[in-house]
Every structure is written in C-alpha cells, then in structure tokens.
C-alpha cells in the first residue's frame, strides 16, 4: 500500500468582448429579478439564515447603486472580490464554505459614483456541473460519487493525473504587473484569467515552464515585477519556491526547502516575503495522501493534524535560493499571513525576520467550523475558535529556535482575526497598520471589521449587529504620506437578508458611505484593486 501511495503521489505531482465604458445599466428581466428578490427575502426570513451562507440567486447582474454618504472623489478604480458563491447543484447542497463555485463581484468607483456587478467564473468544473446537474470534479471536501468499482478505479486514475481535480478558482484574485487579472485556488489548473471590466472568463492561465506539480499556494506574493509562489512536494516532503516575471507565463525555480517534519509538507494556503527573503512556513497541519484518496471528508479534510511532527519556519534568500535559516517554532495554524520585514541592528545588519499572521492558537478545528451547517445555525453560543495576530521572530544568527507570540492582546479584536490586508506600499517592509475581520462575542464566524495598530498594540472595531462583513480591503489615497491615509472597502451581509458595500475611512475607521445591493450576496473571500488608469 505504501508503494502504491508513493507511486500515486509521484503521478499526482508529475503531471472579452469589451463593453463600452461609462454607466450603462444592465437591467434585463426586471420582473424576474424582482420576483427572485421577493422569494429570497421570504426564504431568508423563514429560515432565519444570513444571506452570507446562501447561494447567489442568479448568474450575473449589473447596476448603479444608490449611496448613503459620500465616496471620496479621488477613489477611482475597480475593486474585485472573489469567493465561493454557489453552494448547490440541482438538489445537491455542498457541505463546506470552500466548496462553492466562484462568484466574482465588481465595485467600480468613478467620481463619487458606484456601479456594481457580479458574475460566475466559467470554470470547467462549473460548466460541467451545470450541464450534468451534478458534481463532476473533486472540490475541497466533495468528490463525485462513483457508480461502481470500475468507476471508482477510473476516478482514482483521474485523481493521480490531475484530471479530476477542480479548476474552480474560488479563493484569490490578483492583478499581475502586466495588468492581467487571474483568479486562483490551490490547484495549479485552477488559475483562470478574467476580464476585469466584464468579469467574463477569458480562459485558463497556462504556465509554460513544464515544472509540473498540481497544487500551489492559493496566495502568491505579487509585485509590479513578479509573482512568487510555493509548490508543495508530497513525494519528497518539501516546497519549491518559484518566481514568474511580469509579462510571462514561465515560472522559474528560486530554490527548494526540505521539510524537517513529515510524512508530508505542511499546508501552505499562504506565505510571506521580505525585501530579500522568502518566508516558508511548515505547520503541523500536513497534507495527507490517504485523505486525498477519500471520497468522504475527514475531520481535517485533505490534511492531518500531526503536532508531534514539529512546526518550523524556513527563510530562503531570493537572490541565491539558499536557505539561510530553518528554525523550530511553537505549533501554529494559519490560513493567512499578513506581512513580513527584516529587523536590523544599529549597524544596519539584518538580524532577524519578523513575520505576522492570523494564527488560530494551533487549533486545527477551525477547518471543520467552516462547514456550512455550522455557519447557517447560529444558536447564540460562542463557538468561534480563538485567534490572534501571531508574530514570528526568526533569528538569522544560526540559532535553532524562533519565537511565536501575540503582537497585541487578542481581546482588542474579540479573540478573532482573519482575512487581512495592509497598505500595499508597505508590503515586505516595516509597517504599523493591518485591517482584518475580528469578532464580537458570542459568534460562530468573524463578524467585525478591525483596524490593528501594531505600534500602539490597540485595535479599532466596526460592528453591525447580526451582520457578516467580508475582507476589509485597504486602498491608499494617491499621494498619501501617512500609512493609513485611504479607505477600507468591504461587502456586508446584513441580518435582515440584505447586503451592502461599505466604505470606511482608513484613519478614523468611521463609516463614510454605504450602498445597498438589490439583493443579498453570499460571503466572499479575497479581493484586489485596479486603479482606473490601469483599466482598458
């Protein structure tokens, strides 16, 4: 069996029409939309559920939103948000937040006005499901049900070749340095280019390097000149660090990190970088070949919780590909890193790497807490696992251990933290502020927006009772000299079954505008910003 798994894993790893600019409003099928809104509101109130955890009511919509308050006139550009928005096919309902088919939402800001739209990403997984009225590809926790033994064996063969892995790009969205916009998930084939104006699916983003590999980090680090990401190796436990220059589709190897624990690499949903180094986390929530083969989800899904295997952070020099530090750290669980930078002494020598993340107190149960049944059944009990801003300090003097501590008292943000953004000017540099989703207890999911001040070790929190806000995304004011001079954009699902776009002042963290959507939108994950000058 061991040989079979190794061979299976070896096989697994080897292998627009442009619309006019302006504010033309698409209002087709108005009566049908009005009826859908009425039905939706009735269902939501009857079921007592937030719209955040219900499927999108139609494939696409566009229209100008009416504002309460004023949007700064300097805010000109487009915010795009990606996330799972359709959690059912025919009468079959998915079980986990991460399973839904990707829904793009677009907020276009222009001289104080706001036009919104949404549209499904037309991945092969989504198109096949619509055509066949059933699940056809392996999603995060779901797998197509085999018709019999031979169907099961054929399904395994497709898994090993990658043919049955989903391309449902429902997680991240990045704007590359050359202007192309790509939606991502953790399968390499789930890299899909989209049109940022129409939200149309252009097609699969094909890497031309021949590096192989079927999985990568859902969150690469992107700058104006390059994209850097990690390719986990399930056969020889480790990570390959690769970079892709803007304007190309070719990834080139920077170097390789060998895992110090095992039997497989730790999950790398995200990682982080400094100016000169790539920070590679190795947490004890590890990929599991056995669980990958299962048709039914396990408590840790595609992973295993192995605290006895150790927890580590590796530091690789970007220029040479050499691993300059590999230290053991306390156990940790994180989906999202926030930022990292280099600590220097009085002589300007780099002495350590500081890396911050949203850390779930080494409690891997957070994965199972994101089952849709849990999210849809808020009972008033406080069931959201605690989380903090975890700060790693990785020494570069040869010491074998690093530290992991809370960057501020977790009570400042309700012992909940995730879905973070910063002023992008400060990426890979010393910084002061981070914006994230926090918690107002009791809750079963992050339900506040929080501004973290890492210098004062304080937080400001925004809360709308009974609502669920999505990732707060910071957009800096052009020409700003202060780190928090800008706005924060979020989309909120209200407890009344409705939703709205929200704009907060980045400094005071006070609401300055909101715009109601015509009907409720599901929860979304991550976004990106495209300045108006970069569109077209």
List b or e across 252-279, with b for residues whose CB sees 16 or more CB atoms inside 10 angstroms.
eebbbbebbbeebbbbbbbbbbbeebbb
In terms of Cβ atoms closer than 10 Å to its own Cβ (0-12, 13-18, 19+), residue 65 is middle
Angle between helices 149-161 and 2-14 (to 10 degrees): 50
Task: Measure the CA–CA gap between 220 and 214, rounded to whole angstroms.
Answer: 15
Handedness of CA 294, 299, 301, 303 (dihedral sign): negative
**Which residue numbers belong to the known binding site?**
219, 269, 336, 526
The string of DSSP letters for 217-245 reads -SB-EE-SSEEEEEEEETTTTEEEEEEEE
User: How many residues comprise the chain?
Assistant: 536
- Closest to 97 measured CA to CA, from 369, 294, 314, 345: 369
Task: Measure the CA–CA gap between 427 and 355, rounded to whole angstroms.
Answer: 11
Helices (H), 317-356: none
Q: Which tokens sit at 321?
A: 């590909």
Task: Measure the CA–CA gap between 315 and 312, rounded to whole angstroms.
Answer: 10
Q: Which tokens sit at 527?
A: 């976004």
The structure tokens 């007592």 sit at: 48
Within 10 A of 515 (CB to CB), how many other CB atoms are there? 21
**Which residue numbers belong to the known binding site for Fe cation?**
219, 269, 336, 526
Within 10 A of 30 (CB to CB), how many other CB atoms are there? 8
Residue 511 has φ and ψ, to the nearest 5°, of: -70, 135
Integer CA distances (angstroms), 39 to 35, 57, 65, 269, 477, in order: 6, 10, 21, 37, 41
Give the single-character DSSP code of 146: P
Q: Which tokens sit at 29?
A: 């099928």
- Rg (the chain; Cα; Å): 22
Task: Measure the CA–CA gap between 169 and 82, rounded to whole angstroms.
Answer: 8
Task: Measure the CA–CA gap between 99 and 97, rounded to whole angstroms.
Answer: 6
The structure tokens 């000017």 sit at: 425
Q: How far is CA 395 from the centre of its chain?
A: 29
């Amino acid at each position: 069996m061991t040989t079979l798994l190794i061979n299976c894993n070896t096989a697994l790893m080897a292998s627009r029409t442009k619309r006019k600019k302006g504010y033309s409003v698409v209002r087709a099928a108005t009566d049908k939309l009005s009826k859908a809104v009425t039905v939706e509101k009735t269902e939501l109130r009857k079921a007592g559920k937030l719209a955040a955890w219900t499927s999108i009511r139609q494939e696409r919509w566009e229209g100008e939103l009416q504002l309460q308050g004023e949007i700064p006139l300097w805010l000109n550009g487009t915010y795009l948000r990606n996330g799972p928005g359709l959690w059912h096919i025919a009468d079959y309902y998915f079980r986990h937040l991460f399973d839904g088919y990707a829904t793009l939402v677009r907020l276009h800001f222009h001289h104080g006005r706001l036009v919104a739209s949404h549209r499904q990403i037309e991945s092969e997984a989504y198109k096949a499901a619509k055509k066949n009225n059933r699940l056809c590809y392996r999603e995060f926790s779901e797998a197509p049900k085999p018709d019999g033994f031979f169907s099961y064996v054929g399904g395994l063969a497709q898994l090993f070749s990658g043919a049955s892995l989903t391309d449902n790009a429902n997680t991240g969205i990045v704007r590359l340095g050359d202007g192309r916009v790509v939606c991502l998930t953790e399968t390499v084939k789930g890299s899909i280019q989209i049109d940022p104006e129409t939200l149309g699916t252009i097609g699969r983003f094909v890497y031309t390097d021949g590096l192989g590999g079927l999985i990568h980090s859902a969150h690469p680090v992107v700058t104006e000149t390059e994209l850097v990401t990690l390719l986990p190796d399930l056969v020889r436990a480790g990570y390959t660090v690769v970079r892709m220059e803007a304007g190309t589709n070719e990834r080139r190897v920077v170097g390789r990190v060998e895992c110090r624990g095992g039997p497989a690499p730790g999950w790398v949903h995200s990682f982080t970088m400094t100016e000169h180094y790539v920070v590679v986390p190795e947490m004890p929530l590890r990929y599991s070949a056995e669980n990958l083969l299962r048709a039914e989800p396990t408590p840790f899904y595609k992973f295993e919780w192995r605290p006895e295997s150790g927890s580590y952070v590796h530091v690789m020099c970007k220029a040479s590909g050499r691993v300059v530090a590999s230290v053991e750290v306390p156990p940790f669980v994180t989906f999202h890193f926030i930022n990292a930078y280099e600590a220097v002494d009085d002589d300007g020598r780099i002495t350590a790497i500081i890396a911050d993340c949203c850390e779930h107190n080494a409690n891997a149960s957070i994965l199972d807490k994101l089952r849709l049944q849990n999210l849809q059944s808020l009972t008033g009990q406080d069931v959201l696992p605690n989380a903090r801003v975890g700060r790693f300090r990785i020494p570069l003097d040869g010491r074998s251990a690093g530290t992991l501590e809370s960057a501020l008292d977790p009570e400042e943000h309700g012992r909940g933290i995730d879905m973070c953004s910063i002023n992008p000017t400060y990426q890979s540099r010393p910084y002061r502020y981070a914006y994230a989703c926090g918690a107002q207890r009791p809750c079963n999911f992050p339900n506040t927006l929080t501004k973290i001040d890492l210098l004062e070790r304080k937080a400001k929190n925004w809360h709308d009772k009974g609502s669920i806000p999505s990732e707060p995304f910071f957009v800096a004011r052009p020409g700003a000299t202060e780190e928090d001079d800008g706005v924060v954009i979020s989309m909120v699902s209200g407890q009344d079954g409705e939703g709205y776009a929200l704009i907060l002042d980045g400094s005071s963290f006070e609401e300055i505008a909101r715009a109601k959507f015509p009907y409720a939108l599901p929860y979304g994950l991550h976004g990106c910003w495209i300045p108006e000058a970069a569109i077209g």
